[in-house]
């Protein structure tokens, strides 16, 4: 696409005009871009070169009983079955008394990286002796955080190599995720280190490895709640524990185990206006914290119960970033009836555990495809070009014939339309 001039300086109308002039889209496609642009001023505020709004579906998961409080959970996702699985896992856990969830204080680590350090040991000692001064400088750079009871709390110095040092500052971010606030604070401290110690600063940025912002959830499920068809709950519980064991031993399985957990977590993170890349990167790094990548949750059995637990960093925000400006985020916070970042963390970590239970339950019993199939077929027939009125009939044929592919969906659709014509419809 040939674009003339600086796209970012153009108005939305001018950007559309350029796209039309480039002839890379037909009129129907251009109209779709236009019609999807429902909040131009918000889009232009949030990102650069805005052209339209890309919509994701939002659904609600039910049956969440967490620390004796009932929740409904808005989830934003493009993947079929995630919402249903979430409600299914949560319902089983609710019958067992619900989730017990807790989250730590909300500290984030910011890093100032010093390079070309000639004597890392000496510089490290100097930096440590400056802790009080440097924390004060950090807090002065964003004073409102300290006024709220948060702010820079401690500092540590790590020697990364013979010439590299990381100054880590732990900052209590209160109700925000904190990235922007931390970065401002770090830059002020970095400037001081540069001037006072004549050191070269390579970069100053928060770390997404949020080891000081951890959320945990657990549950204990009596075997009888897990029985299915003619299989005993105890046998299913043992298979779930075995599946969990494999996720601790094998990175191939652990990655998929965690993907299932993140199906739920990301969906709520998105619905609540949070940065899912930050949560994803932190979660996967945490999964490898002991030197090998492992499942973030684990399940075990005793005489009568299947017990599950999950633990991961959840540096989400309840204010700040896009949270205050995307109107639906406020609606979702209201729907959930959460009042703080800690409470939201408790819900999100519980969703991860419910999602994991539902996935493992399906895997060790029916297999994952059975539950997924109806929704997957819906997506497939949509991709085949079926109208709403045609979808049910095609799905019925596909189920009857055991077909699960796009080519079959297209063939069946063509057959139905041909028959419709012959019938005079
Ligand atoms: P903001 O820059 O919006 O800062 C938080 C805002 O919330 C501040 O303006 C603060 O007000 C206000 N606030 C109101 N009440 C509270 C409270 N009780 N506790 C804390 N803050 C409060 O957002 P963040 O600093 O949280 O940064 C998050 C954004 O940064 C996300 O959008 C993320 O995508 C992005 N980001 C992420 C990076 C990463 O993950 N590596 C890197 C860079 C950006 P006041 O000013 O009065 O203190």
Reported as a single tens digit per residue, the pLDDT across 82-136 is: 999 999 999 999 999 999 999 999 999 999 999 999 999 999 999 999 999 999 9
Is the predicted pLDDT of residue 425 greater than 60, yes or no? no
- Ligand 1 pocket member 339 (CB < 6 A): no
Residue 184 contacts residue 163 (beta carbons within 8 Å): no
Percent of the chain with pLDDT over 70: 96
CA of 291 to the centre of ligand 1 (A): 31
Strands 297-301 and 151-161: unpaired
Residue 185 contacts residue 139 (beta carbons within 8 Å): yes
Catalytic residues: 79, 259, 275, 372
Convert the pLDDT of each residue in 373-384 to its tens digit. Answer: 667 788 888 888
Give the pLDDT mean for 201-214.
98
CA of 173 to the centre of ligand 1 (A): 8
CA of 215 to the centre of ligand 1 (A): 20
Best residue for ligand 1 mutational test, from 145, 150, 178, 181 (most atoms within 8 Å of Cβ): 181
Give the residue, 305 or 229, on which the prediction is more confident: 305
Convert the pLDDT of each residue in 135-146 to its tens digit. Answer: 999 999 999 999
Ligand 1 atom closest to residue 173's alpha carbon, by position in its atom list: 20
Give the pLDDT mean for 218-226.
97
- Ligand 1 pocket member 181 (CB < 6 A): yes
- Ligand 1 pocket member 244 (CB < 6 A): no
**Nearest protein Cα to ligand 1, atom 40:** 278
Residue 94 contacts residue 65 (beta carbons within 8 Å): yes
Residue 134 contacts residue 189 (beta carbons within 8 Å): yes
Q: Alpha-carbon distance 132 to 112, whole Å?
A: 16
Based on its alpha-carbon atoms, the radius of gyration of the chain, rounded to whole angstroms, reads: 26
Ligand 1 atom closest to residue 145's alpha carbon, by position in its atom list: 48
CA of 284 to the centre of ligand 1 (A): 23
Range with the lowest mean pLDDT among 63-77, 190-204, 314-328, 373-387?
373-387
Task: Tell me the domains of the chain and their CATH numbers.
Answer: 7-39 (no CATH), 58-102+215-366 (3.90.770.10), 107-207 (3.30.70.420), 371-422 (1.10.8)
**Nearest protein Cα to ligand 1, atom 14:** 319
4, burial (CB in 10 Å: exposed 0-12, middle 13-18, buried 19+): exposed
CA of 181 to the centre of ligand 1 (A): 6
């Amino acid at each position: 696409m040939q674009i003339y001039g600086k796209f970012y300086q153009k108005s939305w109308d001018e950007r559309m005009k350029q796209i039309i002039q480039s002839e890379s889209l037909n009129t129907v496609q251009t109209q779709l871009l236009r019609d999807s642009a429902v909040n131009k001023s918000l889009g232009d505020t949030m990102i650069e070169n805005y052209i339209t709004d890309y919509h994701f579906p939002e659904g609600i998961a039910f049956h969440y009983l967490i620390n004796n409080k009932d929740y409904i959970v808005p989830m934003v996702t493009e993947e079929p079955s995630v919402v249903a699985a979430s409600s299914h896992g949560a319902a089983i856990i609710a019958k067992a008394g619900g989730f017990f969830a807790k989250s730590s204080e909300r500290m984030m680590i910011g890093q100032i990286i010093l390079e070309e350090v000639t004597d890392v040991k000496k510089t490290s000692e100097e930096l440590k002796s400056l802790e009080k001064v440097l924390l004060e400088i950090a807090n002065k750079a964003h004073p409102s955080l300290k006024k709220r009871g948060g702010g820079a709390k401690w500092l540590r110095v790590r020697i990364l190599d013979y010439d590299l040092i990381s100054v880590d500052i732990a900052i209590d971010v209160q109700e925000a995720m904190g990235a922007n606030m931390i970065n401002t604070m770090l830059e002020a401290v970095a400037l001081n280190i540069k001037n006072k110690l004549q050191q070269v600063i390579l970069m100053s940025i928060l770390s997404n490895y949020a080891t000081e912002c951890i959320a945990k959830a657990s549950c204990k499920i009596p075997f009888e709640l897990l029985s299915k068809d003619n299989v005993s709950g105890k046998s299913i519980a043992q298979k779930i524990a075995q599946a969990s064991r494999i996720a601790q031993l094998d990175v191939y399985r652990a990655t998929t185990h965690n993907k299932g957990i993140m199906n739920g977590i990301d969906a709520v993170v998105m619905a609540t206006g949070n940065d899912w890349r930050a949560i994803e990167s932190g979660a996967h790094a945490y999964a490898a914290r002991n030197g090998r990548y492992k499942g973030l949750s684990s399940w075990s059995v005793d005489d009568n119960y299947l017990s599950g637990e999950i633990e991961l960093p959840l540096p989400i925000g309840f204010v700040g970033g896009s949270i205050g400006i995307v109107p639906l985020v406020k609606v979702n916070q209201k729907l959930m009836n959460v009042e703080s970042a800690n409470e939201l963390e408790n819900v999100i970590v519980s969703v991860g555990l419910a999602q994991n239970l539902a996935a493992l339950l399906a895997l060790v019993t029916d297999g994952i495809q059975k539950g997924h199939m109806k929704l997957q077929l819906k997506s497939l027939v949509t991709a085949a070009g079926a109208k709403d009125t045609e979808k049910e009939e095609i799905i019925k044929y596909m189920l009857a014939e055991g077909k699960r592919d796009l080519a079959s969906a297209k063939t069946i659709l063509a057959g139905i339309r041909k028959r419709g014509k012959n019938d005079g419809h």
